[in-house]
A and B are shown apart, each in its own frame.
Chain A
Amino acid sequence: TQLLEQSPQFLSIQEGENLTVYCNSSSVFSSLQWYRQEPGEGPVLLVTVVTGGEVKKLKRLTFQFGDARKDSSLHITAAQPGDTGLYLCAGASNNNDMRFGAGTRLTVKP
């Protein structure tokens, strides 16, 4: 059983479309991070959110942390083929463990 549930599991869209992926849990996290992973490589950090209700923007990516610090979303505007990859959310608990969701595999077609 995953501590963090990510949806959708797979997403295939055309270049230029917008999308949102979700990360949900019944647990409260001290912080939540989003990573992107490409084949043959380790995950690379995109953003960390710490405060409930926090919104962070990174170019075309918008990250939101839920008010209760149990869930998060990642919205991508005008997706590009270079956005293709596995998007992972990871939650940090007070004992400093970092647990990952199963990920959303995004494919952006040109």
Chain B
Amino acid sequence: GAGVSQTPSNKVTEKGKYVELRCDPISGHTALYWYRQSLGQGPEFLIYFQGTGAADDSGLPNDRFFAVRPEGSVSTLKIQRTERGDSAVYLCASSSDRVGAGANVLTFGAGSRLTVL
């Protein structure tokens, strides 16, 4: 696609429920990143995929959070037993290659706003 697409744009759920957030990256982008952004804060790193594999999942806050990218394109962030503290905007970004000295660009989606009541 032309850009990074995230669905749903807004999700309201009750405490304890299960939530899935989807990211459709730019076609051909091998690197995919998930971030969480709370109000007034910068994006907090969650997980980074290179292809189908999670190259770094050190940012996932606990075992309630899990992400997959089975075919190396679309990714799903899964949150079990949601808590009020999980409320935030979840941002997805993709890049054509590894970000580093090669200075590739992260293209972000508009985010999925999650509200846990």
Contact = CB atoms under 8 A, between A and B. Distances in A.
Task: Determine if chain A interacts with chain B.
Answer: yes
Given A43-B108, A94-B100, A105 B33 contact: no
Interface stretch (B39-47, B71-79, B80-88): B39-47
Nearest to A9: B40
A86 B55 CA distance: 29
Interface residues of B, number: 29
A31 interface: yes
Contacts, number: 79
A30 B100 CA distance: 6
A95 B101 CA distance: 10
Given A42-B93, A42-B108, A44-B108, A96 B42 contact: no
B24 to A, nearest CB: 13
Interface magnitude class on chain A: 20 to 34
Contacts of B33: 98
B103 A31 contact: yes
Interface string B31-42: 101010000111
Given A88-B43, A105-B40, A42 B99 contact: no
A110 interface: no
Contact of A45 (B42, B48, B106): B106
A99 interface: yes
Contact of A100 (B40, B44, B99, B100): B44
